[in-house]
C-alpha cells in the first residue's frame, strides 16, 4: 500500500516495513482493506485504520525519507521564468539517476529503465557520470558528475526548490535596469494612446522618442534597442491593451461537444473565477466588487470550495482550493446543529470511522479531485499551480480557448449563485449596468470577510441541501437529488480515502514576498507582524535604507516571508 494518489515520491507502507507510530517502532504484519496490523518485537500487537496511521504527526517509514506533501512552489513562483524552466528541465534527469525512471511510476505509460541508469547494474556514482555525459551532449552548460551529485542532494533536501538557481531568488523589478526616464516616457505614451485605435509597437516607440525629446532635449536620452523596448512595453502595458494585438473576441462553436460521463466524486472538478454581483466595502473603506473563485464537482454538483478576494485572484488562491476541497470544513460555532455533517443525509458513522476530522464538520463533501478543468488564465496554467496539482496526484485539463461549454457546470453555477444568493444581499449590483439600481452603492455595507461567511453558510443550507435537476439516481429517475444525497450515493460505491494535510503543508501554499525585517518586526499592508523568532534576524543586519553609488535607495536586509505566518 503506497500513497493514495500513486505518487512515487512518498514512502511505501507494505508488509514487512517498519514504521513509527505514537513514538514507537512497529512492523507491518498484514494489510486488509482499510486496516493495518502492526507487531512489535516484544510480541505486542495493534490494529488501526490507515487514515489514523497517516494522520499521526509522528508517522514515518523507517529507512525512507518522507518528502514534502506540498512543494515550496510559493517560493518557486517568485523566481524568473527561465530559472523555473531550468529547474523543471533538471527534474526528470534527477529522477532517472535516483530511480531509473524519469517520471513517477504510473504517470507515463511505456517508460522503461534505460541500461545506463539501471540501479541493479550500476552504482549511483556511475549513473551520475552517465547523466553528466548525456546532459552535456544535450546542450546543458558545464555539467559534470559533481554537478549531478550536488543537484541530487539539493533535490533530496528541498524538492523542486533545490533545483532552482538561488542567485535568481531575490527581488527584481519588472522593468529590469531600464532608464527611469524611458520608463516614464513609455507610461506617458501608453496614457496618450488610451482609448484610441490600437497601433503598433513601432509607432509607440516613435511617440516615446518624441516625449523624451520634449522633456529632456534632443538626443539627451537614448531609446533602448528594439527588442529591449518590446520587453519594456510588455512589462508596463495592460495585456488587453498591448499595441499590435487584436481585440479580444468571444466566439462560440457551431455545436457544443458532448459532455463526458462522470460517475465518481472528484473524477472531474471545474474551477473558475468571476466578479461577484455584490458591492462590498473593501479594507480601505472604498467600494468594489470582489472576485469569487469556486470549485464544483461535476458528479455531485457540490460546491467543494469558494473563496472571495477583494482584488484580483492569484495563483496561490487557486492552489489553496486544493486544500479546501481535500479537508473537512469545520462548522462555525454560531451555526445551528442542522448544518453539521452528522445531521446530513450521508453515512456519517461510517465516514467518521475512516476520518476523525469529520467530527463537528460542516455538511459539505470532502473530495480529492482526480482531474481539474480550468480555463487558460495565467493563474491556472502557471507552473506552480500545475506542480501543486501533480504532487497531490491531480491532473490539470485546460479548456479549449473561447469555449465556455467545456466548463458548462461551473459557468451555470455562477448564474445560480447570482440568482439564489447575490440578489438577496444588500449591495446587489445586477448582472449588467442596465439592470443596476440607483441605490446599489448606498446599500453596500458588508465587508469581504462578512460576505465570505454568508456565502459559506448559504452553500450548506441553500445549495448542498437543495434538489438539483441535473442529479438523478438510476433507481429513482423522477426524483431530483441534492448534492449531499448524490455524494452519499456515490461514495457508497467508490469509497472514501482521506488525505491528511499538516500545518506545514498549508504554510507552503501561502504567498511569498520579500520584505525587510526591522526591530519593530515586519509591516505588510499597514499591519505589523512581530515575534521573538525575528529578533536574531533583525539584530544581525541593519534595517535602515542604504544608499548606493548611483543615488538609488535600496533596503537591506530582505528576507522571504509568508503573509499571515508571522
CA dist list (Å): 548 to 179, 539, 544, 551, 556: 16, 22, 13, 5, 11
Cα angle, residue 288 at apex, residues 287 and 294 outer, rounded to 5°: 140
- Look over the chain and give the mean of its residue pLDDT values, rounded to a whole number: 79
What is the model's pLDDT at position 253? 44
Q: Enter the CATH code of domain 269-505.
A: 3.30.420.10
Give yes or no for residue 3 having a pLDDT over 50: no
What is the model's pLDDT at position 303? 93
CA dist list (Å): 545 to 280, 358, 542, 554: 37, 50, 8, 6
Mean pLDDT value across residues 89-96:
89
Give yes or no for residue 455 having a pLDDT over 90: yes
Q: CA–CA separation, 234 vs 126, rounded Å?
A: 46
Handedness of CA 397, 501, 63, 36 (dihedral sign): negative
Taking a C-beta distance cutoff of 8 angstroms, is the pair 488, 478 a contact? Answer: no
In the chain, where the domains are located: 18-61, 79-168, 180-241, 269-505, 511-562
Taking a C-beta distance cutoff of 8 angstroms, is the pair 343, 374 a contact? Answer: no
**Three-class SS of residue 290?**
coil
Between 272 and 11, residue with greater pLDDT: 272
Handedness of CA 284, 287, 289, 294 (dihedral sign): positive
What is the model's pLDDT at position 244? 58
Q: Are strands 24-32 and 18-21 parallel, antiparallel or unpaired?
A: antiparallel
Could you give the dihedral angle defined by the CA atoms of residues 47, 48, 54 and 59, in that order, rounded to the nearest 10 degrees?
Answer: -40
Helix (H) or strand (E) holding 39: strand 35-39
Q: CA–CA separation, 304 vs 268, rounded Å?
A: 12
Band of pLDDT at residue 296, cut at 50, 70 and 90: very high
Q: CA–CA separation, 557 vs 429, rounded Å?
A: 46
Give yes or no for residue 95 having a pLDDT over 90: no
The C-alpha cell at 430 is 445586477
pLDDT digits (tens, 9 = 90+) for 300-341: 999 999 999 887 777 667 777 887 888 888 898 888 888 999
Q: CA–CA separation, 543 vs 557, rounded Å?
A: 6
Considering the entire predicted model, what is its pTM?
Answer: 0.52
Where in 363-404 does DSSP place strands (E)?
371-374, 395-398
Q: Which residues does 431 contact at the CB level (< 8 Å), separation at least 6?
A: 277, 418
Amino acid at each position: 500500500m503506497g500513497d493514495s494518489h500513486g505518487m512515487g515520491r512518498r514512502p511505501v507502507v507494505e508488509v514487512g516495513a517498519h514504521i513509527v507510530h505514537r513514538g514507537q517502532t512497529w512492523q507491518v504484519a498484514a494489510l486488509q482493506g482499510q486496516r493495518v496490523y502492526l507487531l512489535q518485537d516484544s510480541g505486542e500487537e495493534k490494529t488501526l485504520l490507515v487514515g489514523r496511521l497517516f494522520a499521526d504527526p509522528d508517522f514515518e517509514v523507517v529507512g525512507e525519507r518522507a518528502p514534502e506533501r506540498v512543494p515550496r512552489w510559493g517560493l518557486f513562483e517568485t523566481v524568473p521564468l527561465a530559472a523555473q524552466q531550468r529547474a523543471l528541465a533538471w527534474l526528470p534527469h534527477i529522477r532517472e539517476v535516483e530511480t531509473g525512471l524519469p517520471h513517477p511510476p504510473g504517470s507515463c505509460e511505456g517508460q522503461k529503465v534505460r541500461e545506463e541508469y539501471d540501479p541493479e547494474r550500476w552504482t549511483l556514482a556511475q549513473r551520475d557520470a552517465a547523466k553528466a555525459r548525456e546532459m552535456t551532449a544535450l546542450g546543458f552548460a558545464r555539467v559534470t558528475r559533481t554537478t549531478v551529485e550536488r543537484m541530487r542532494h539539493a533535490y533530496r533536501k528541498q524538492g523542486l526548490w533545490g533545483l532552482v538557481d538561488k542567485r535568481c531568488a531575490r527581488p527584481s523589478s519588472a522593468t529590469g535596469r531600464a532608464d527611469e526616464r524611458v520608463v516614464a516616457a513609455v507610461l506617458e505614451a501608453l496614457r496618450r494612446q488610451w482609448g484610441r485605435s490600437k497601433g503598433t509597437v513601432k509607432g509607440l516607440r516613435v511617440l516615446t522618442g518624441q516625449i523624451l525629446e520634449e522633456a529632456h532635449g534632443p538626443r539627451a536620452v537614448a531609446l533602448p534597442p528594439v527588442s529591449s523596448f518590446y520587453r519594456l512595453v510588455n512589462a508596463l502595458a495592460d495585456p488587453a491593451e498591448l499595441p499590435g494585438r487584436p481585440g479580444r473576441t468571444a466566439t462560440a462553436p457551431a455545436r457544443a461537444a458532448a459532455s463526458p460521463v462522470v460517475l465518481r466524486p472528484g473524477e472531474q472538478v471545474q474551477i473558475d473565477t468571476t466578479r461577484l454581483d455584490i458591492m462590498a466595502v473593501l479594507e480601505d473603506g472604498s467600494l468594489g466588487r470582489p472576485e469569487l473563485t469556486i470549485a464544483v464537482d461535476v458528479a455531485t454538483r457540490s460546491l467543494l470550495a469558494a473563496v472571495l478576494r477583494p482584488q484580483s485572484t492569484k495563483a496561490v488562491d487557486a492552489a489553496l482550493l486544493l486544500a479546501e476541497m481535500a479537508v473537512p470544513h469545520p462548522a462555525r460555532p454560531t451555526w445551528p446543529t442542522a448544518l453539521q455533517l452528522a445531521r446530513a443525509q450521508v453515512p456519517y458513522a461510517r465516514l467518521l470511522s475512516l476520518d476523525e476530522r469529520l467530527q463537528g464538520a460542516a455538511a459539505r463533501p470532502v473530495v480529492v479531485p482526480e482531474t481539474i478543468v480550468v480555463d487558460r488564465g495565467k493563474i491556472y496554467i502557471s507552473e506552480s499551480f500545475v506542480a501543486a496539482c501533480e504532487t497531490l496526484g491531480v491532473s490539470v485539463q485546460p479548456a479549449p480557448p473561447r469555449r465556455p461549454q467545456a466548463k458548462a457546470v461551473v459557468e451555470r453555477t455562477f448564474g445560480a449563485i447570482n440568482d439564489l444568493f447575490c440578489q438577496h444581499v444588500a449591495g446587489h449590483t445586477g448582472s449588467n449596468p442596465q439592470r443596476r439600481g440607483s441605490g446599489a452603492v448606498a446599500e453596500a455595507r458588508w465587508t469581504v470577510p462578512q460576505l465570505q461567511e454568508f456565502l459559506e453558510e448559504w452553500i450548506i443550507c441553500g445549495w448542498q441541501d437543495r434538489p438539483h435537476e441535473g442529479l438523478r439516481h438510476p433507481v429513482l429517475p423522477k426524483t431530483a437529488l441534492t448534492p449531499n444525497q448524490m455524494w452519499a450515493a456515490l461514495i457508497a460505491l467508490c469509497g472514501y480515502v482521506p488525505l491528511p494535510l499538516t500545518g506545514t503543508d498549508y504554510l507552503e501554499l501561502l504567498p511569498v514576498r520579500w520584505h525587510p525585517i526591522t526591530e519593530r518586526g515586519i509591516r505588510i499592508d499597514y499591519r505589523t507582524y512581530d515575534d521573538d523568532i525575528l529578533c536574531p534576524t533583525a539584530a544581525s543586519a541593519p534595517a535602515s535604507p542604504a544608499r548606493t553609488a548611483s543615488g538609488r535607495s535600496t533596503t537591506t536586509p530582505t528576507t522571504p516571508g509568508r503573509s499571515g505566518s508571522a
